Amino acid sequence: MKNFLSILCIGLVSVAAYAQSPNRSTPPELTKAKNLQLSPIERFALSNGLKVVLLEKHTVPLLEIDLLVKTGSFDDPAGKEGLANFTFDLMDEGANGMDALKLADEIDFLGTTITTFAGNFSSGIDCLTPVSKLEPSLKLMSNIALQPTFSDADIERVRGLRLNGLLQDYDEPRIIARRAFDKFMYATNTPYGKFASEGSIRAYTKADLTAFHKANFIASNSTLIIVGDITRKEIAPILEKYFAAFPTGTSTPSIKPVPQQVKSRSIYLIDKPGAAQSVIRIGRIGTSRADEDYNAIVVMNTILGGSFTSRLNSNLREEHGYAYGASSGFAFWQVPGPFVASSAVQTDVTGPALGEFFNEFKKMRLPMPDADYERGKNYEALGYAGNFETNASIASALAELVLYNLDDNYFNTYVGRILAVSKKDLEAAAKKYIVPENMVIIVVGDRSKIEKGIKALNLGPITNLSIEAVLGKKPKL
């Protein structure tokens, strides 16, 4: 009986403790952000000089193998804009005697994923495979990389798809806004404001694709990036077997012009009658990846528009209900890339929403409250590890390391550098890179309903444009 009463008393105390209300008067304490502890990065080269970057990760029997080529859409020849993207799109449509269907069947049978892509400054072929299927997967990947077919039938089929896609762009406000932003941000003699048109798409020939591939798929212009459950000793001979045929030779990287900074504030209003929303895109030239202000800019933008709790999103979404979301970001290129703030807002509040963007830009240049400063640093530092959860995301980070010549220990020391950003550094970055008086403003929407509200802001001269003035004449299919 005594034991029973003792147990009953303990149970009642436990229930009472459990019933106590949690303290919600203050938010829970944040854990201390720690630096990453990625495995050491190994570098070696194959017999033909093809560079290899390897990071072992023995948690699951998977491998990410990415072929990085240091050529992108900004290297397209004049009059052949879109050629890099078109070439890489065709590479997995047939290779070494296999047509697109046969190649796709072989990849699916292995449980492997192989994709091709072309970015602005680099392109590549990405392969995710089980370790048990490594050799047959690498064989297919090397066939795609070294022996693409570029058949006439596939070229014409993909050309037709591209022209259809180009026609669809006329109904996509976000694409129209992006094209307009690039068109009016950059000088016409630079590659940054150009994009594939009906004329350039129709101009591609098999000879163009073959020449582009031959000029850029050489060992000195490429790097294999490998992440996953394998060692150098295990994979080196297999890579040698399938990539020793990678051509040697020298490549001459094209010198990219430095974009000229925006020196005034101009508004370009692209009319899309009947649009239920207006797409807003605002920006100027930011800075390059090598800038010593990089860490301060990252934290500053996290506060401005780089997180869900950012000032722009809190203002336009939470406070005013103008949009589902608003954001901002810097594209850190090899040359200074753009700073862009954007949102899609309800048509009837286009003017007020645009005004709130500039209110937040101006506030960003004021002294930073301690709470915002700490929140911005902690958000970036505590969330950084999430960028390295998968083999693919780690490989993507390693590609950045290769492209921008970062130190091999860069990722393991990143959090410490972010936490070391001072409030003074952050405030200086805001004043230097967020300059409301010098910005390009793009608005795509129903002019008849939004022009008056935009004019009332007195932000600058308005240039009214049609969609065809931005994208050109609609293609004839």
Residues 208 and 353 in one domain: no
pLDDT per position as a tens digit, 344-374:
999 999 999 999 999 999 999 999 999 999 9
Task: Tell me the C-alpha to C-alpha distance, in Å, between residue 165 and each of 169, 199, 316, 389.
Answer: 6, 14, 31, 34
Determine how β-strand 113-118 pairs with β-strand 98-99.
Answer: unpaired
User: Do 239 and 294 lie in a common domain?
Assistant: no
The amino acid that residue 233 corresponds to is: K
Average pLDDT over residues 61-65: 97
Integer CA distances (angstroms), 277 to 173, 323, 348, in order: 9, 9, 8
Give the amino acid at 410: Y
Q: In this predicted structure, what is the pLDDT of residue 343?
A: 98
Distance CA 325, CA 14 (A): 45
What local confidence, expressed as pLDDT, does residue 477 receive? 83
Q: What is the pLDDT of residue 8?
A: 44
Same domain, 114 and 167: yes
CATH number at residue 367: 3.30.830.10
Residue 256 located in a structural domain? no
Same domain for 67 and 211, yes or no, is yes
Whether residue 241 contacts residue 46, with contact meaning beta carbons closer than 8 Å, is answered with no
Q: Can you tell me the mean pLDDT for 208-217?
A: 95
Q: Do 76 and 83 form a contact (C-beta atoms < 8 A)?
A: yes
- Give one DSSP letter per residue of 276-308, joined into a string: SEEEEEEEEE---TT-TTHHHHHHHHHHHTSST
Same-domain check for residues 322 and 464: yes
Q: Do the domain assignments include residue 34?
A: no
C-alpha 221/C-alpha 145 separation (Å) is 13
pLDDT digits (tens, 9 = 90+) for 369-395: 999 999 999 999 999 999 999 999 999
Give per-residue pLDDT as tens, 268-285: 999 999 999 999 999 999
Q: 324: how many CB neighbours lie within 10 A of its CB?
A: 13
The answer to whether 434 and 130 have CB atoms below 8 angstroms apart is: no
As for how many domains the chain has, the answer is 2
For 152-186, write each residue's pLDDT tens digit: 999 999 999 999 999 999 999 999 999 999 999 99
- Residue at 316 is within a domain: yes
**Residue range 426-463, pLDDT digits in tens:** 999 999 999 999 999 999 999 999 999 999 999 999 99
Please indicate, yes or no, whether residues 342 and 311 belong to a single structural domain of this protein. Answer: yes
Q: How far apart are CA 88 and CA 344, in angstroms?
A: 31
Range(s) of the domain holding residue 451? 266-471
| Helix, strand, coil share (%) of the chain residues, nearest 5 | 50, 20, 35
Identity of residue 447: R
C-beta separation of 61 from 130 below 8 A:
yes
pLDDT above 70 as % of the chain: 94
Give the HSE-up count for residue 394: Cα atoms under 13 Å, Cβ half-sphere: 27
358 residue type, one letter:
F
The answer to whether residue 140 is domain-embedded is: yes
Lowest mean pLDDT across 90-94, 187-191, 431-435: 187-191
Give the dihedral sign, CA 370/320/270/173.
Answer: positive
CB 116 within 8 A of CB 125: yes
Enumerate the β-bridge partners of residue 123.
Answer: 69, 118
Contacts (Cβ under 8 Å, ≥6 apart) of 239:
46, 52, 138, 224
Kindly indicate the confidence band of residue 12, based on its pLDDT and cuts at 50, 70 and 90: very low
The pLDDT mean for the chain works out to 93
pTM: 0.90
